[in-house]
Amino acid sequence: MAKVVFLGLGVMGYPMAGHLRTRGGHEVTVYNRTGAKADAWVKAFGGRAAPTPREAAAEADLVFACVGNDDDLRSVVLGPDGAFAGMKKGAIFVDHTTASAGVARELQEKAVALGLDFLDAPVSGGQAGAENGALTIMVGGNDKSFVAAEPVMNAYAKMIVHLGAPGSGQLAKMVNQICIAGVVQGLAEAIHFAKSAGLDVEKTIAAISKGAAQSWQMENRWKTMTAGKFDFGFAVDWMRKDLGIVLDEGRRTGARLPLTALVDQFYADVQAAGGNRWDTSSLIYRLEK
């Protein structure tokens, strides 16, 4: 059993922190910007809540975080009330936020200067993966810290892969989001085409879903996309945030990402139609409105 901390109890962090208690059996302290959410978590799982990241992190072996973006991450890590100010020497900060590779490298350098370490460890699998303890975790950072953190992360993971140097986890998550963007747009167009051609969509998907066209999105989203229901997963606002990170990194490295840029604009159309909190499968809406 380890002394661990979880910062950020949103739709992902709340169940992830819960698995650290129920599956991992760890001693868990939580922090959330809205204190009532932290109090509710303690009531549900035990452990304790702290009023600041610094107080939460005191004496912890591992500090985990899952917050919104680069600025949110810096706000819980840096400054007099940030986690780094309270962590003991040798402790490891594990960041599950989908953030930039640049902020991962920045915080890793600051951590090492303080006698700490930092792993960038974004996750894939969405809210369902977090609730079911079946996330895929992509990790960047040094080998020693990865070996120490991996057994604890197993409480909410089905796969954990160490990609290499600091920032590598975030870069791998960008690859993940590029793939998702292209697949969802392709599926949206396919369903729209099938409807327009007068095909039975259910029979058509059954015919193609076990062949080369098969994908997780097809298996899990074609029915809700066909029905125009978009409240089953990762929100458009968050996908646009992620794709913005991808496109910034592409400009930095010279990678050409024409499809990603196009799908990002399609998601902007969905936002303009009021679909900010719809899930990412809502790309079909702009084809059928």
Question: Which tokens go with 49?
Answer: 């809540």
Question: Two tokens at 14?
Answer: 């709340």
The letter for the amino acid at 67 is V
CB contact at 8 A, 135 and 123: yes
Distance from C-alpha of 274 to C-alpha of 152, rounded to nearest angstrom = 39
Q: Which of 110, 144, 173, 241 is catalytic?
A: 173
d(CA 120, CA 103): 9
Q: What is the secondary structure of 207-255 as a DSSP string?
A: HHTTTTT--HHHHHHHHHHHHT---SSSBHHHHHHHHHHHHHHHHHHT-
Measured CA to CA, the distance from residue 127 to residue 176 in angstroms comes to 16
Q: Give me the residues paired with residue 162 across strands.
A: 139
Active site residue 173: yes
Active-site residues: which are they? 173
